[in-house]
Amino acid sequence: MDNQRLESSYVDANSKTALQATTRVTGTISGPGDLVLDGALEGDVAIEGLFFLGENGSAKGKISAGNMIVAGHVQGRISVAGMVEIRASGHVLGNIVCQKIVIAEGAYLDGEVHTHKGKPLAPSYFTEKRKELQAAEK
């Protein structure tokens, strides 16, 4: 998954569920597909595909997913089979268990990151491209 954005790893467009910013859910969400959450959730998530927490989204509870993108706020334990991507707008308060993790500059993480038992952490590296840096090099 080198240099590949997680957004391109959706399981199937037909198995994607989206909850908009005005949606508030209390309870458990589970399923075999993908989930896009821009609303608020108090409860647990068990998604086999990609869990995309949008910038307006918040989740409080235990999260289990195949892969996860965090652009909003999470409070709770995150357990992901593959990769977690915390974007610059992402805010995580809790421990993370995953195989790979990418944390953007400006993201917030207060917790510990652990790997799956017996498997080495496989970090992803990337080069930040900003106009200020490119202008300074010229």
Per-residue pLDDT of the chain (138 residues; tens, 9 = 90+): 344 555 555 445 556 777 777 778 888 999 888 999 999 999 999 999 999 999 999 999 999 999 999 999 999 999 999 999 999 999 999 999 998 899 888 899 999 998 877 666 655 655 445 545 545 555
CA distance 30 to 44: 8
Residues β-bridged to residue 29: 45
Q: Which of 17, 21, 4 is nearest to 46 (CA)?
A: 17
**Can you give the residue ranges of every domain in the chain?**
6-137
